[in-house]
Amino acid sequence: MALSTTNAQVIDILKPKSSAPGLWSPNVGPETVGLLKHLDLPDDESRKLVRDQALSVLSRCVSPQDLGGHQTGLVVGYVQSGKTMSFTTVTALALDNGFPIIIVIAGTSKPLFWQSEKRLKDDLRLNDRDDHKWKHFSNPKTNARASIESALAEWRDPAVSVNARQTVLITVMKNHTHLRHLNALLKVLSLKDVPILVVDDEADQAGLNASVNKGELSTTYRCLVELRQLLPHHTFLQYTATPQAPLLINLIDVLSPRFAEVLEPGKAYTGGKEFFAGHLKLARTIPDADIPTKDHPLTSPPESLLLAMRLFYLGVAAGYVHSEQPKGNRSMMVHPSQKTVPHMVYYNWVNQAQKQWVAILQQGKNNPDRKDLLAEFKEAYDDLCTAVPNIPSFDALADKLSRAVRNTHVIEVNSKQVTGTPEINWKNDYAHILVGGQAMDRGFTVEGLTVTYMPRTTGVGNADTVQQRARFFGYKMGYLGYCRVFIEDSAHKAFKAYVDHEEHIRKQLKEHRASAKPLTEWKRAFFLEPNLRPTRASVLDMPYIRDNYSDSWFRPTAPHDAPDATETNRTIVEDFLADLVLVPDEGHKARTETQRHTVASDVPLADVFSKLLLPLRMTRPNDSQHFTGLLLQVQQYFDKHPNAVCTVYHMSGGRERERSVDNQDKVKNLFQGAHPDKSGAIYRGDQYIRNNEQLTIQIHNLQVQTPDGNFSNVPAIAVWVPREMSKAWLSQNQGAS
């Protein structure tokens, strides 16, 4: 029996604000309206942004009115930008639109799970409301069967109005034990006609198949696959700020997304662009001498750590200047390494400095130690003055320093403690300094974080892992000038490089979403600096290539591969050449006819890109991947230099040039060599036919001789990229056109 959705009450009917249509148009009902009123948002514009983006996300999901089917979607935000708020709003919308069951998978550790669950329960007001719209189950087992079945029975009964029905909300930790319990429960429920929404928070972590290269299924991944098999009618929404892994896993993987939504943050958000590409110098490199290593242990707290603490305490003092009982929190995070031993060392250093400073600041104003300490704080104050408008005077802050230092709660956040990772009670204290490693990585929220001290390297350099350490991002515009990030040199460079990488991926996903094409047709190619890897290799079974054309040539290896592509490229080239004014190139008078070319100078790069390069087809996978990378480089250069020009050569004036192939059916030598010998006295060779200062296009017309026959009039395009257009990229071929 199909679920009844009669008597639905809605407050507003809105279509998602998007340039591409969704599968259906969700309604904004009382649950969503109530949530948006409850959320701590600054204004109606912010509420509208959250609402419209949630509508857009849900519109891409399988409609609850459909008879079945499944969908996988990727929702991409920034680190600390409000992804939890987004999927909470989507959850409320799902209730308004007739989803009887919503499953939220969150947290790979107990503290992270509790943090996410508490946030969801608080925002949905589960413990504070008088109605019974929600039935919540936390890490349920089969003993929840009867209660869930009674809720589903109400949905199947047309005599029960929509307003009287309950939506089942299941929160489950992303852990194989809890997921197995959930799957056991789902097996005994009748779900054939039940539309279900599944939200996977931090979807790139833990759930993907980490054993794919062994031909096996990792434990948690196996549980998620089984979960999806148990749901005949569902959408699986993957939320993350680092989408590299979900985008690069094999398209045939059940967790490979079929659509992507990109979330825009609120106007007060500060992320990589503000911290690493803005005009404020908020990020500082920790000197090598201040970073302990096996060969260079530290016996006392490094000066950069003490400077970071002084900057932090001045920010706390500013809070006390503005109010005797300041609202919110101010926090500092010391994040030395994944290993647990160094945590205690840094924890002791912070405690020792705090106790020493409290004692000194309580001395009389003429005490020499107090004067020296205040002089050090004055240097930190001068630093803050460069970024904080209307900062209180130093004397005003100095009066509050003793209280600021004394009242700051120092906590070691270590998952290996006997009692487990401590839960921070943010209400008890205004100021905190947290010292820890892995427990403060991905997903951990630090309230009011202003100063971060992170003397750890990038490790193996996985871009997504590095970015997830950016706990210092968030809604900080109101106090951004007080924020500082102290990081190791390689990490500093990695974060800075990630800004361009992240913005490029987001831009591509938004453009592809506007095309209304499935994500399976998106070309997996984006900028990524050589010192970073996109993600951990264990979850990828599809290879990718990396390159950067810089004072070098792109040359196709198999332009004759597919007759239909050859015919298409022939038409593209003929149409392009028809608009050019070509003249004989200069050179030695003894050149052969083959060595005499025609050339067009100062051709607008916009025309070359749009009329020749962009529509051109490459059929050999390796050629396609490299050509896609080339297009990325040309596009980004053109975006910055819209009036750029280039040089176009029609090699041999369009006469056919004979070429043979090797045992892999690749053209052996596209370029003719030097003539009459290696000195190139008459002709230096095709590779030197270029304008060293501009992008140069060579259009070849080939007769390709293969064991299976000859292919005539085959166009082949070679491209010279000057160093000015250098940009490292990654490309993966999964058959996208």
Quick one: average pLDDT of 9-38?
73
Q: What is the pLDDT of residue 440?
A: 67
Report the share of the chain in percent with pLDDT over 90: 83
Nearest partner of 269 among 483, 440, 507, judged by Cα? 483
- In this predicted structure, the answer to whether residue 9 has a pLDDT above a threshold of 60 is no
Q: What is the pLDDT of residue 29?
A: 96
Banded model confidence at residue 18, pLDDT cuts 50, 70, 90 = very low
Quick one: average pLDDT of 548-572?
95
- In this predicted structure, the answer to whether residue 423 has a pLDDT above a threshold of 80 is no
Neighbouring C-alpha atoms within 13 Å toward the C-beta of 199: 32
Quick one: average pLDDT of 508-515?
94
Q: Is 94 exposed, middle or buried (0-12, 13-18, 19+ CB in 10 A)?
A: buried
Residue pair 254/460 in contact (Cβ under 8 Å)? The answer is: no
Q: Over 582-609, what HEC string results? A: CEECCCCCCCCHHHCCEEEEEEEHHHHH
Q: What is the pLDDT of residue 318?
A: 97
- In this predicted structure, the answer to whether residue 737 has a pLDDT above a threshold of 60 is no
Q: What is the pLDDT of residue 1?
A: 41
Query: C-alpha 509: how far from its chain's center?
Result: 11
Quick one: average pLDDT of 600-612?
96
pLDDT digits (tens, 9 = 90+) for 674-727: 999 999 999 999 999 999 999 999 999 999 999 989 999 999 999 999 999 999
Banded model confidence at residue 53, pLDDT cuts 50, 70, 90 = very high
Q: What is the pLDDT of residue 339?
A: 61
Q: What is the pLDDT of residue 469?
A: 85
Helical (H) or strand (E) element with 317: helix 303-322
- Residue linked to tokens 């401590």: 422
Task: Give the integer Cα–Cα distance in Å for 278 and 386.
Answer: 13
Straight-line distance from the first to the last Cα atom of the chain, in angstroms, rounded to the nearest whole number: 42
Q: Over 480-548, what HEC string results? A: HHHCEEEECHHHHHHHHHHHHHHHHHHHHHHHHHHCCCCHHHCCEEEECCCCCECCCHHHCCCCCEEEC
Nearest partner of 447 among 467, 487, 474, 420, judged by Cα? 474
- In this predicted structure, the answer to whether residue 607 has a pLDDT above a threshold of 50 is yes
Quick one: average pLDDT of 103-124?
93
9-23, 317-331, 508-522: lowest mean pLDDT where? Answer: 9-23
Q: What is the pLDDT of residue 475?
A: 95
142-156, 338-352, 575-589, 695-709: lowest mean pLDDT where? Answer: 338-352
DSSP string, 359-395: HHHTS-TT-HHHHHHHHHHHHHHHHHHTT-TTPPPHH
Banded model confidence at residue 420, pLDDT cuts 50, 70, 90 = low
pLDDT digits (tens, 9 = 90+) for 484-508: 999 999 999 999 999 999 999 999 9
- In this predicted structure, the answer to whether residue 437 has a pLDDT above a threshold of 90 is no
Residues 6+ apart with CB under 8 A from 521: 512, 736, 737
- In this predicted structure, the answer to whether residue 603 has a pLDDT above a threshold of 50 is yes
Could you tell me the two tokens for 157?
A: 């009964």
Nearest partner of 408 among 469, 451, 365, judged by Cα? 451
Other residues' Cβ atoms within 10 Å of the Cβ of residue 523: 18
Q: What is the pLDDT of residue 220?
A: 97
Other residues' Cβ atoms within 10 Å of the Cβ of residue 579: 10
Task: Give the integer Cα–Cα distance in Å for 423 and 438.
Answer: 15
Radius of gyration for the alpha carbons in the chain, expressed in angstroms and rounded:
30
DSSP string, 642-711: TT-EEEEEEGGGG--EEEEB-TTS-BS-SS---BSSTT-SSB--GGG-S-TTS-EEEEEEEEEEETTEEE
pLDDT digits (tens, 9 = 90+) for 639-663: 999 999 999 999 999 999 999 999 9
Quick one: average pLDDT of 265-288?
94
Task: Tell me the C-alpha to C-alpha distance, in Å, between residue 213 and each of 205, 536, 621, 665.
Answer: 17, 12, 21, 29
Q: What is the pLDDT of residue 444?
A: 75
Pure H helices in 230-302: 244-248, 272-276
Task: Give the integer Cα–Cα distance in Å for 321 and 397.
Answer: 7
Q: What is the pLDDT of residue 297?
A: 87
Q: What is the pLDDT of residue 341?
A: 59
pLDDT digits (tens, 9 = 90+) for 133-156: 999 999 999 999 999 999 999 999
DSSP state of 720: E
Q: What is the pLDDT of residue 2?
A: 54
- At 337, is the secondary structure helix, strand, or coil? coil
Backbone angles phi, psi at 438, to 5 degrees: -55, -35
Residue pair 702/656 in contact (Cβ under 8 Å)? The answer is: yes
Other residues' Cβ atoms within 10 Å of the Cβ of residue 722: 19
pLDDT digits (tens, 9 = 90+) for 446-485: 899 999 999 988 877 888 888 988 889 999 999 999 999 9
**Mean pLDDT, the chain, as a whole number?**
92
Q: What is the pLDDT of residue 16?
A: 42
- In this predicted structure, the answer to whether residue 28 has a pLDDT above a threshold of 80 is yes
Quick one: average pLDDT of 283-302?
92
Q: What is the pLDDT of residue 8?
A: 41
Q: What is the pLDDT of residue 416?
A: 60
328-332, 621-625, 733-737: lowest mean pLDDT where? Answer: 733-737
Could you tell me the two tokens for 287?
A: 């000197």
Could you tell me the two tokens for 640?
A: 């910055």
Q: Counting runs of H as helices and runs of E as strands, what totals does the chain give?
A: 18, 27
**Per residue in 330-343, is it b (16+ CB within 10 Å) or e — as a string?**
bbbbbbbbeebebb
Quick one: average pLDDT of 169-175?
97
Q: What is the pLDDT of residue 445?
A: 81
